[in-house]
Amino acid sequence: MSADPLVVFTPSGKRGHFPVGTPVLTAARQLGVDLDSVCGGRGICSKCQITPSFGEFPKHGVTAHKDALSEWNSVEQRYDDKRGLKEGRRLGCQATVQGDIVIDVPEESQVHKQVIRKAASDRIITMDPATRLYFIEVDEPDMHTPTGDLERVARALQEQWQIDNVRAALPVLSKLQPALRKGKWQITVALNKGHDDTHARILDVWPGLYEGGIYGLAIDLGSTTIAAHLCDLVTGEVKASSGLMNPQIRFGEDLMSRVSYVMMNPGGDVEMTTAVRTAINGLIETIATEAEIDPNAIFETVFVCNPVMHHLLLGIDPVELGQAPFALATSDSMSLDAREMDLHAMNDNARVYILPCIAGHVGADAAAVALSEEPGKSDDLVLIVDVGTNAEILLGDKDRVLACSSPTGPAFEGAQISSGQRAAPGAIERLEINPETKEPRFRVIGSDIWSDEDGFDNATATTGITGICGSGIIEAVAEMRMAGLLDDSGLIGSAEQTGTSRSIPEGRTHSYLIHDATADGGPLITVTQGDIRAIQLAKSALYAGARLLMDERGVDTVDRVVLAGAFGAHISSKHAMVLGMIPDAPLDKVTSAGNAAGTGARIALCNVMARATIEKTVGEITKVETAIEPKFQEHFVNANAIPHKTDPFPELAKIMTLPNVSFNTGGGDSAGGGRRRRRRG
């Protein structure tokens, strides 16, 4: 046995014998223990804090005496005086091993911290960002063996951090010389190395030890909204989140209308590219202000988006995506300088990573959902639906993952709905209809009080009741079906047929009155027959896409359903199933994953190797093109009924029986947009 003291690190359990006098940081490095250090053990960055434990540790076979570490030294004293060292903590680069000892590495001293994402699932992100800070001491220039300052910086990174092949962005070169001299040949560099890079690039440089933060953005660039999360690239913490409407909406509400705009207006792609890049620059400024950080400290942005937004962001005409065979200009991931995309609001040398697209209709956003939800690691068969203007659908398990997209249109986001509106205070988000009285009760965003409860009027006095948002319209339509106001073909019954005066005639069809605020100068909030038709089109598209993947996989049911997307988080699974948006499944197997695409972007931002993972995964996904698949049309037509014309919903039937009503009188509007309606048996 070795006579050298035994050092045991927790929580890793790594252990080894080291000569008396070995700094704890050195011991940690030799054992491969994850202990952070920016200054390389010079006692100035304080990142290597550890907590020694003294006493008997039978588990580890160690008895640690009080003098098992060297005494508190002047460097630690100075640091403690200046900034305060937590009780029991030591600096790992200063404390040396004197006897057997157990040393705990606290979470914040680990480079590869694990960040639990704040969502329903408990997925963990291991911090391993592409951009990190390194403090180095650089040799002074020597006239007799002349080398450039950059070449000596590269040598220091090699010698002090074992990082080879370092280059500098051109703007860094003009900052390097003053920084080296101001820092007395000690500098901190922000170094970026992507998963597929053969060299590391210096993105920024500061004199001495830089004590500010470094940040990255995860941006989910949707057709309708742009959502950004600002993440601390050291801790993984989300410092701020912000969003805005995609300004391209003025060129067309949905993707295909934007593609049409380009076809009709030469140069329209350039206009839209400029608009979205300008908006993103504005968003970056906003989020930096909100988080109270310098936007120059933002070094990376990860984008996820659908293929059309992908092309418009990159300045590529999306017209090929508007027609078969829906060819992407490029499908692989992209790593580039932010300045190439005119994203100037961040650091001059910031990098951009864009996840790969899966197919011409299935974008980097779907890839991000796959990265976040990992269907390919699932033991049971999971259907993941990311509901937006375009729905991305993934179906799979450990054996195989399939993907497609389906053009749901904007109805689920409250657009094309007569009383529809964005999810904002005043919008109806929850709704119930009493099956006996046919009277509705509802809640609006901004208040927890139902409309039939005391205090509702007060609570909504400032916001008013302004319309119905996406989740509200889904509940409204489902509740109307459950209350017998709507038949399975989607026809709203008349006052006579339904027995409620809330069914009001509108031309040859009927509307259901939810709230009349006209007396107060407010709106008349109704669900019209047209609204029902819009929702039917959207939900049929969604269901047909899912069904197509199930066909491809050879199954009639799925084990569980995950609703993703900001919107997905707010949908009631019961109502979604009554509507037939999703295939039948036990209700407790229908969960929400929140903004899974945004989470995928965050994962790719915080963990550089996740980029390699998703690139590989995307290559293995089976792509299904809904637009050319003849069965899609058949599935779409069958899915028009509520919940469905032919597919049984046995799990739904276990918890409720839908009224068997029919309001078709032979004339007027008929279900399925004129298609002949058949009653389900």
Q: State the minimum distance, in angstroms, from the CB of residue 362 to a second copy.
A: 8
Please report the sign of the dihedral spanned by the C-alpha atoms of residue 630, residue 631, residue 634, residue 639: negative
- Looking at the Cβ atoms of 117 and 152, the one nearer to a second copy is 152
Under rule CB under 8 A, residue 25 binds a second copy: no
Kindly give the residue spans of alpha helices, DSSP state H, lying in 388-528: 456-459, 470-482, 495-498
- Looking at the Cβ atoms of 309 and 415, the one nearer to a second copy is 309
Under rule CB under 8 A, residue 168 binds a second copy: yes
CA 131/CA 607 separation, integer angstroms = 10
CA 390/CA 177 separation, integer angstroms = 50
* Phi and psi angles of residue 205, each rounded to the nearest 5 degrees, phi first: -145, 140
Q: How would you list the strands of the sheet with 166-168, edge to edge?
A: 131-137, 186-192, 200-207, 166-168
- Looking at the Cβ atoms of 74 and 198, the one nearer to a second copy is 198
- Of 171-179, 240-248, 440-448, 651-659, the window that binds a second copy (rule: CB under 8 A) is 171-179
- Of 147-155, 374-382, 452-460, 493-501, the window that binds a second copy (rule: CB under 8 A) is 147-155
Under rule CB under 8 A, residue 441 binds a second copy: no
Q: Is 548 exposed, middle or buried (0-12, 13-18, 19+ CB in 10 A)?
A: buried
Rule CB under 8 A: which of 318-337 touch a second copy? 320, 324-332, 336
Q: Which of 267, 320, 274, 368 is nearest to 603 (CA)?
A: 368
Q: State the minimum distance, in angstroms, from the CB of residue 185 to a second copy.
A: 11
Single out the residue of 82, 118, 144, 508 in contact with a second copy (rule: CB under 8 A). 144
Under rule CB under 8 A, residue 143 binds a second copy: yes
Under rule CB under 8 A, residue 116 binds a second copy: no
| Stretch 612-631: interaction string toward a second copy, x if CB under 8 A | -----------x-x--x---
CA 608/CA 236 separation, integer angstroms = 13
- Of 53-61, 169-177, 469-477, 642-650, the window that binds a second copy (rule: CB under 8 A) is 169-177
Q: Are 514 and 523 in contact (CB under 8 A)?
A: no
Q: Are 349 and 356 in contact (CB under 8 A)?
A: no
Under rule CB under 8 A, residue 147 binds a second copy: yes
Residue type at 615? Answer: E
- Looking at the Cβ atoms of 95 and 313, the one nearer to a second copy is 313
- Looking at the Cβ atoms of 279 and 316, the one nearer to a second copy is 316
- Looking at the Cβ atoms of 93 and 357, the one nearer to a second copy is 357
CA atoms within 13 A on the CB side of 264: 8
- Looking at the Cβ atoms of 176 and 527, the one nearer to a second copy is 176
Single out the residue of 87, 142, 454, 496 in contact with a second copy (rule: CB under 8 A). 142
Binding-site size for a second copy (CB under 8 A) equals 45
CA 166/CA 161 separation, integer angstroms = 12
Beta-carbon count within 10 A of 518 CB = 10
CA 71/CA 81 separation, integer angstroms = 16
Q: Which of 520, 531, 548, 264 is nearest to 403 (CA)?
A: 548
Under rule CB under 8 A, residue 267 binds a second copy: no
CA distances from 526 to 420, 510, 517 (A): 10, 10, 11
CA 320/CA 325 separation, integer angstroms = 8
- Of 94-102, 172-180, 406-414, 646-654, the window that binds a second copy (rule: CB under 8 A) is 172-180
Q: Which of 196, 257, 317, 222 is nearest to 615 (CA)?
A: 196
Single out the residue of 282, 315, 530, 659 in contact with a second copy (rule: CB under 8 A). 315
- Looking at the Cβ atoms of 104 and 332, the one nearer to a second copy is 332
- Of 288-296, 317-325, 476-484, 545-553, the window that binds a second copy (rule: CB under 8 A) is 317-325
Q: Which residues pair with 510 in a beta bridge?
A: 505
CA 470/CA 431 separation, integer angstroms = 12
- Of 204-212, 309-317, 463-471, 651-659, the window that binds a second copy (rule: CB under 8 A) is 309-317
Q: State the minimum distance, in angstroms, from the CB of residue 615 to a second copy.
A: 12
Under rule CB under 8 A, residue 173 binds a second copy: yes
Rule CB under 8 A: which of 371-400 touch a second copy? none
Q: State the minimum distance, in angstroms, from the CB of residue 406 to a second copy.
A: 15
Q: State the minimum distance, in angstroms, from the CB of residue 198 to a second copy.
A: 5
Q: State the minimum distance, in angstroms, from the CB of residue 326 to a second copy.
A: 6
Q: Is 324 exposed, middle or buried (0-12, 13-18, 19+ CB in 10 A)?
A: exposed
- Looking at the Cβ atoms of 317 and 429, the one nearer to a second copy is 317
Residue type at 290? Answer: E
CA 7/CA 131 separation, integer angstroms = 31
Q: State the minimum distance, in angstroms, from the CB of residue 364 to a second copy.
A: 12
- Looking at the Cβ atoms of 69 and 262, the one nearer to a second copy is 262
Single out the residue of 25, 262, 355, 358 in contact with a second copy (rule: CB under 8 A). 358
Under rule CB under 8 A, residue 170 binds a second copy: yes
Name the token pair of 206.
């500061």
Structure letter (DSSP) for residue 291: H
Rg (CA), the chain: 30
- Of 234-242, 358-366, 372-380, 405-413, the window that binds a second copy (rule: CB under 8 A) is 358-366
Q: State the minimum distance, in angstroms, from the CB of residue 220 to a second copy.
A: 21
Single out the residue of 359, 469, 525, 642 in contact with a second copy (rule: CB under 8 A). 359
Q: State the minimum distance, in angstroms, from the CB of residue 538 to a second copy.
A: 24
Under rule CB under 8 A, residue 75 binds a second copy: no
Under rule CB under 8 A, residue 551 binds a second copy: no
Cα dihedral 431, 435, 436, 441, rounded to 10, equals 0
Single out the residue of 2, 74, 162, 198 in contact with a second copy (rule: CB under 8 A). 198
Under rule CB under 8 A, residue 177 binds a second copy: yes
Q: Which of 109, 125, 203, 122 is nearest to 609 (CA)?
A: 125
Residue with the two structure tokens 């992100």: 125
Q: State the minimum distance, in angstroms, from the CB of residue 50 to a second copy.
A: 38
Q: State the minimum distance, in angstroms, from the CB of residue 261 to a second copy.
A: 17
Cα dihedral 667, 671, 673, 676, rounded to 10, equals -70
CA 200/CA 133 separation, integer angstroms = 12
Beta-carbon count within 10 A of 673 CB = 12
- Of 137-145, 506-514, 517-525, 649-657, the window that binds a second copy (rule: CB under 8 A) is 137-145
Q: State the minimum distance, in angstroms, from the CB of residue 327 to a second copy.
A: 4
Q: State the minimum distance, in angstroms, from the CB of residue 413 to a second copy.
A: 26
Under rule CB under 8 A, residue 316 binds a second copy: yes
Q: Which of 344, 365, 351, 348 is nearest to 277 (CA)?
A: 344
Single out the residue of 67, 108, 151, 452 in contact with a second copy (rule: CB under 8 A). 151
CA 248/CA 495 separation, integer angstroms = 42
Beta-carbon count within 10 A of 522 CB = 15
Residue with the two structure tokens 């017209």: 319
Q: State the minimum distance, in angstroms, from the CB of residue 324 to a second copy.
A: 6
Residue type at 480? Answer: M
- Three-class SS of residue 675? coil
Where along the sequence are the contacts to a second copy (CB under 8 A)?
Answer: 140-151, 168, 170-171, 173-174, 176-178, 198, 314-317, 320, 324-332, 336, 340-341, 357-360, 623, 625, 628
